[in-house]
Amino acid sequence: MKAPFVKTIFVLFTTLLFQNVQIRSQNISKPIKWDFILPTDYKVGDTLSIFYRAKIDEKWKMYSFDCDSIEYVKPAKFTIVSDESFEVISPLEFSLSIEEFDKDLERKVKVFSNEVRLIQKILVKKKVLKFTGKIDYHLFKEEDESGSVMLLSETF
């Protein structure tokens, strides 16, 4: 008789614990917000510019796509999943990054501050586009003694 009671208590406790962990993880706010704009009015043969914009919270910065890859710093990476519905026709264009001295790394790094804008040009090959991919990037908080760094990924 004790075993079913103990088992029931264990299951209830475990369920509540995992629900609490899930709720807390959903409440974590990212210091960056992404927008993705894919034009809807196009035909086969058109060249489209796909726009991405990220607003970065104050005091946070993002390492640039053209930042040197060194210990603890990985440049942002943009990956598109290939599909027959389009062809990438130009390299990714991105807003101007700034170069600043990172006192922790003791060197200059290229970063984005406040906002990032990206443009990817494609050639439409089919009426229904299947355009997916992801952006992997590092964020860090400037002048933060705790060393706040986030490695994040956004899918689109």
CA distance 3 to 88: 62
**DSSP 8-state code for residue 25:** H
Predicted local confidence at residue 27, as pLDDT? 47
Cβ atoms within 10 Å of 135's Cβ, excluding its own: 22
Which structure tokens are listed for 23? Answer: 């709720």
Domain residue spans of the chain? 1-29, 31-155
Cβ atoms within 10 Å of 109's Cβ, excluding its own: 21
CA distance 61 to 32: 9
Predicted local confidence at residue 8, as pLDDT? 46
Predicted local confidence at residue 13, as pLDDT? 47
Predicted local confidence at residue 11, as pLDDT? 43
Which structure tokens are listed for 94? Answer: 């991105």
pLDDT in tens for each of the 156 residues of the chain?
555 544 444 444 444 444 433 333 344 588 999 999 999 999 999 999 999 999 999 999 999 999 888 877 889 999 999 999 999 999 999 999 999 988 878 889 999 999 999 999 999 999 999 999 999 999 988 765 566 888 899 998
* Angle ∠(32,35,36) on CA atoms, nearest 5: 140
Q: What is the pTM of this model?
A: 0.74
**In the CATH hierarchy, which fold is given to the domain comprising 31-155?**
Immunoglobulin-like (2.60.40)
| Closest to 117 measured CA to CA, from 104, 135, 131, 100 | 135
The three-state (H, E, C) secondary structure of 127-151, written as one string = CCCCCEEEEEEEEEECCCCCCCEEE
Residues 6+ apart with CB under 8 A from 21: none
Phi, psi (5° rounding) for residue 125?
-110, -20
Predicted local confidence at residue 44, as pLDDT? 98
